[in-house]
Structure 1
Amino acid sequence: MSELVTGEAVALELRPAKLPSRAMAVLLDLAAAVTAYVIVTIALVAATSSLDDAAQTALSITAFLLVLVGGPIAVETLSHGRSLGKLACGLRVVRDDGGPIRFRHALVRGLIGVIEILMTFGAGACIASLVSARGRRIGDVFAGTLVVRERVPAAPAVFVPPPPPWLAGRFAELDLSAVPDGLWLAVRQYLTRMGQLDARVRHSMAERLASDVAARTGTPPPYGVPAPAYLAAVLHERQAREARRAFGHGVPGGVVPAGAPGPGMAGGPGMAGPAPVTTPPTQLPSAAPVPPSSLTAPVSPPAASPAAPPAGGPPEAAREASSGGGPGTGFVPPA
């Protein structure tokens, strides 16, 4: 890795391109440029066959400069350091501070590349790359540029080791509100990388981080607990609290049991069910005199057949029942 310092004093870790990948990218660029130069030369010869030899020589030199020199310069300027070969090999030209290149950087690299690549068949560029600590050729040195790799292997997933089982839940009452986020980040980075550290460095860093955490919480670490185990248990407790805060609290695990009534339902947690509605009995109005007009309104006969008059009843009652009238119906038979 190569550490570059930007204008904001930020250190960047970039991976310089090695000689094989750079040589492959240069070969691809040269193949594309030579192909374009041959096509342009054939077109110029066919178009300028009537001109004299001096004019044809001048056009050939112009085509050489435009295609083999100006073409790579224009491509690197417009693509910010990614030519066709570099794009295929996953490379990029950047400044010494890690920023994108501009026209002057591409111009210096292209002009010096004519000498160290085209005229020496790449021998000068290979020797300079082997001598340089970051694999730079002469054009990169004069232009202040560097060829780096853009496609790097993905870093493995970060794994934080869990605390020992006998420390689970031991720091549930510990006040962690005063511990800053920067200290938590340092603890997490230490736990993920402590297997890569030297034994003495690992022990000293664990003791220092444990003392910092204990000073922020106001509670010293338990006697006999190793510093790495103490840090793992405290970090695990903080993560558990964050999970409870994010996914719910008040219910163990933040999950409502299946089948339990939810809010707004009868018997739900924290809410009373709706009380049954009781309607008071309707009081019937007192009897009022029937107006004379309602006495003449016809009443439709019932759907069922009229009941037979009781046997042995008075003839007047039987006659009133057969005529469809009756006492209290409001119907007066005709005279």
Structure 2
Amino acid sequence: MHLFNRVKYRTPESVELEFTLAGIGNRALALVIDYLILAVAWVVFLLTWAVISAQLVDWWTENFGSATAVWLVAIAFIVSFVMYTGYFVFFETLWQGQTPGKSFIKIRVVRDDGRPIGMQQATLRALLRPFDEFLFIGFFLIMISRQEKRLGDFVAGTIVIQAETPVSSTLNISEAAKSLHQELLQITDLSVLLPDDFAIIREYLQRRSAISAKARSTLSLKLAEQVQEILHLEKLPTTSADVFLEAVYLAYQQSGE
């Protein structure tokens, strides 16, 4: 297993993104942090439940003449299990694949195709976690798996990656694109560009810095050619594909104002 394995996936818009897998060390450290948080919550629950149970036993003995604590212990076990699984399900579902531990270490869980996980995937991972931790089965599976998956990941169809740098809502637009977009407004009708088409262009411009140079060059040219066809342009302006896409982005925004 390489120290920094990378994985590629293709979005529904045919955009290829590449991410670094989290690595077993990062995952273990995140799990330790999560277990420390769980341990604190579990101790607080047990102390609270012990006080409540003592009062319930006294009340039961006083009213019914015999004390039984079996059902109180059973409730404690059930609540502990719900806390254990619910912790991971709750946070991974609402925090886009992150728990407090994963957030601190800057890793996250995503589906195999790169989409955010949902409650189903988070639940499967949480329910299978005890099996993964039994005799360190998950550890060995991560070590030998090319995508560093434990049993829960295989069943849920997920991978754990290093968290992306947050995408900035502000795009860096070159001066060449600012000049070109005025020309585009005069020579073509930007209204034929659908909102979904514009969203793909914006997504690429926001995420291009995270794409490898080779993949970025191929992808930008392919995307520029598709946009050229939509806009019925006979040929691309004599500029780079990135500058053309930036210009289309600006022109589309201005045409909608």
By the TM > 0.5 criterion, same fold? yes
* Counterpart residue type for residue 23 of structure 2: K
1:322 maps to what in 2? none
Residue 47 in 1 paired to residue 52 in 2? yes
Q: CA RMSD in A?
A: 2.9
Number of residue pairs matched by the alignment: 160
2:226 maps to what in 1? none
Residue 145 in 1 paired to residue 158 in 2? yes
Name stretches of at least 5 consecutive residues in structure 1 with no aligned partner: 153-192, 195-215, 217-233, 240-335
Give the one of 117, 126, 148 matched to 1:110. 126
* Counterpart residue type for residue 125 of structure 1: G
2:101 maps to what in 1? 85
Which protein is richer in helix relative to its size?
Answer: 2
After TM superposition, the score normalised by the length of structure 1 is 0.44
2:90 maps to what in 1? 74
- Superposition map of 1:278-317 within 5 A: none
Give the one of 94, 101, 110 matched to 2:110. 94
After TM superposition, the score normalised by the length of structure 2 is 0.56
Q: CA deviation at 1:8?
A: 2.9
Spell out, residue by residue over 1:163-221, the C-alpha distance to the aligned partner (whole angstroms, 9 max, x if none).
Answer: xxxxxxxxxxxxxxxxxxxxxxxxxxxxxx79xxxxxxxxxxxxxxxxxxxxx9xxxxx
1:128 maps to what in 2? 141
Name stretches of at least 5 consecutive residues in structure 2 with no aligned partner: 1-5, 58-67, 166-212, 215-234, 244-257
Which portions of structure 1, spanning 4 or more consecutive aligned residues, are displaced by more than 4 angstroms? none
Give the one of 74, 77, 81 matched to 1:58. 74
**Residues 112, 138 of structure 1: 8 Å contact kept:** yes
Bigger Cα Rg = 1
Give the one of 5, 12, 18 matched to 1:7. 12
- Superposition map of 1:31-46 within 5 A: 31-46=36-51
Spell out, residue by residue over 1:103-123, the C-alpha distance to the aligned partner (whole angstroms, 9 max, x if none).
Answer: 000000000002212x44xx1
**Residues 41, 63 of structure 1: 8 Å contact kept:** no
* Counterpart residue type for residue 32 of structure 1: I
2:34 maps to what in 1? 29
Q: CA deviation at 1:7?
A: 2.6
**Residues 93, 147 of structure 1: 8 Å contact kept:** yes
**Residues 94, 148 of structure 1: 8 Å contact kept:** yes
Q: CA deviation at 1:74?
A: 1.2
In structure 2, how many angstroms separate the alpha carbons of the residues matched to 1:11 and 1:151? 15
In structure 1, how many angstroms separate the alpha carbons of the residues matched to 2:12 and 2:137? 32
**Residues 85, 123 of structure 2: 8 Å contact kept:** no
Q: Which protein, 1 or 2, shows the higher relative CO under an 8 Å CA cutoff with sep ≥ 6? A: 2
